[in-house]
Amino acid sequence: MDTVVNNINLGANQVPLAICLLQLSRIKPSATDVQKRRRARYDQTALKELADNIKVMQVIEPIIVRPTDASAESFEIVAGERRWLASKQAGLETVPAIVRTLDDSQVLEIQLVENLQREGLHELEEAEGYETLMTKHGYDIDGLLVKFGKRSRPYIYGRLKLLALDKKSREAFYQGKLNASTALLLARIPVPALQNKALKDITEGWNGAIMSVRAAAEHVQQHYMLRLKDAPFDQKQIDLVPAAGACGSCPKRTGNQPELFGDVKGADVCTDPECFAAKRSAWYVLIEARAKAEGRKVLAGEDAKRIAPYGVDSSLHGGYVKLDDTCYQDAKHRTYRQLLGKDFKAETLLQDPKSGQIVELAKLSDHAETLKAKGVRAEQGRSSGSDGERQRQKAAKLETTFRERVFNAVRTKTPGQLGGEDLRLVATVLWHQAGHDERVRLVTLWNWADKKKANDVVHQSAGQIGKLSEEQLRRFVLDCALIDEVRAHAYSTGKPTKLLDAAKRSRIDTDAIRKALKDEQKARATAKGSTKTTSAKPAVPKGKQRKTKVA
């Protein structure tokens, strides 16, 4: 304790330290906020143990007090309140004390330093102590490093960042649901609503189990951080979202706070998904406005869905292609943009119904001659309204129904072997490897959202894996492995090998499923033909046709 006092600037007129015995009744506890917070968290069991020890050994280390009046008849505890309380419980009448004349600022600093050096200090209290030393006593990071030599710069920054935890996260931290490392992962999420969601993901996972630090770190990086290299917007533009500024200098970019994000691979990672989304939306609005000003057509909403019903990453209807897609009919495998020329400007832009991304399109039939000159024949026979296309779509729909039935039959016979966290790891990896459309189908299949909302919430649904039981996880893993073969496509002739093999292993009669489906199709066709015959008007004999009067 003497060391604590000697490290504080007590002024030039202080006398050497002297220890005296003071009556316990003449001493009162400190009223500072630091001591109030600490007092609220005293361990009563530990306090009783200290009292029992004092009964035998007396008080070995003196407390520090200051006079509260000019006559020095009463004193306020500066440091050592637990020893004072334990002495009272032990039945003592006096306690050894060092009496100092200290102002409020010196008292607060002594208490903070003593508090920060004690064992069992909660990390949030430690953070608050550092903050007070910096804001009220002029310390900076280097000063704290000198004062607490065993600390490192990342350690101090990490503790101070814990103050960014919101109320719910702090409560969970104090309740022991979070440790310091996991709490820091949450504190680095700058949006309170997202921080609360991540807290729920981490503390209310599968079967009520709390995620490990490693699992929590992976979860936060996967769902609450975004790679800036994937951003569709201009990261240097300062007025895209004026309040945010440019990405390069943003404090929410991992590279600008290396002391806090040393565990994150890469400096160009955004830790604010809401800001990222706002910039993306603003960028699309800007692109759309520019396109319209140039007289170009921008398709959105229902118009966009007619062209890209499954998103721009799937086949486009109406004879359109993305300019930046590879043309596989070209021997050199150039993109359509390269084939049409570097100065070509797309007449049509489309806002992806799935992601909101705006892409440039070209209609092949409008540029047939240019493509022909480059040795590429523009495909003409794939318009959505052709008889051939309708037949292919019909066949694909029938094939999809068959595969769905096989798939559902396989699901009922899911084997039970792999379990625990290994099984959850496999499930999580398979989920992230699945394509967007497959994930949308899984969201609907598992009732995590209805069909209308599935596309909107698919990026938020990975946390649902943590809530699945082990039995559900086994089924989910198989779902992820097979889901990409459930939907048949009009231009695909391949067999659903994985799905059929899984059915065979489960002894499912796929031929019977196929036959039942054909019988149903035949019955519907018969019923449809019968309805047409019944509803048709009776034919009028040629000789008795009525003449129509013309008004």
Active site residues: 81
Q: Nearest-CA neighbor of 262 among 179, 152, 128?
A: 152
- Amino acid (one-letter) located at 211: M
The helix (H) or strand (E) run that includes residue 471 is: helix 470-482
**Directed axis angle between helix 470-482 and helix 497-505, to 10°?**
140
The secondary structure of 386-412 as a DSSP string is SHHHHHHHHHHHHHHHHHHHHHHHHHT
Bridge partners (DSSP) listed for residue 321: 362
Cβ count within 10 A of residue 243: 6
Q: Nearest-CA neighbor of 189 among 252, 146, 124, 112?
A: 252
Contacts of 105 (CB under 8 A, 6+ apart): 136, 137
For tokens 């806002």, what's the residue? Answer: 351
CB 316, CB 365: distance < 8 Å: no
Cα–Cα dist 501/452, whole Å: 32
The secondary structure of 174-229 as a DSSP string is HTTSS-HHHHHHHHT---HHHHHHHHHHHHS-GGGPPPPHHHHHHHHHHHH-EEGG
Cα–Cα dist 30/82, whole Å: 12
First to last CA, the chain: 116
Chain-centroid distance, C-alpha 2: 49
The helix (H) or strand (E) run that includes residue 524 is: helix 510-535
In the numeric block, which tokens belong to residue 42? 């005293």
CB 388, CB 402: distance < 8 Å: no
Q: Which residues of 486-523 are buried (b: 16+ CB within 10 A; e: fewer)?
A: bbbebeeeeebeebbebbeebebebeebeeeeeeeeee
Q: Which residues of 201-234 are buried (b: 16+ CB within 10 A; e: fewer)?
A: bbbbbbeeebbebebbbebbbebbbbebeebebe
Number of H helices, E strands in the chain: 23, 11
Cα–Cα dist 346/350, whole Å: 11
Cα–Cα dist 384/452, whole Å: 24
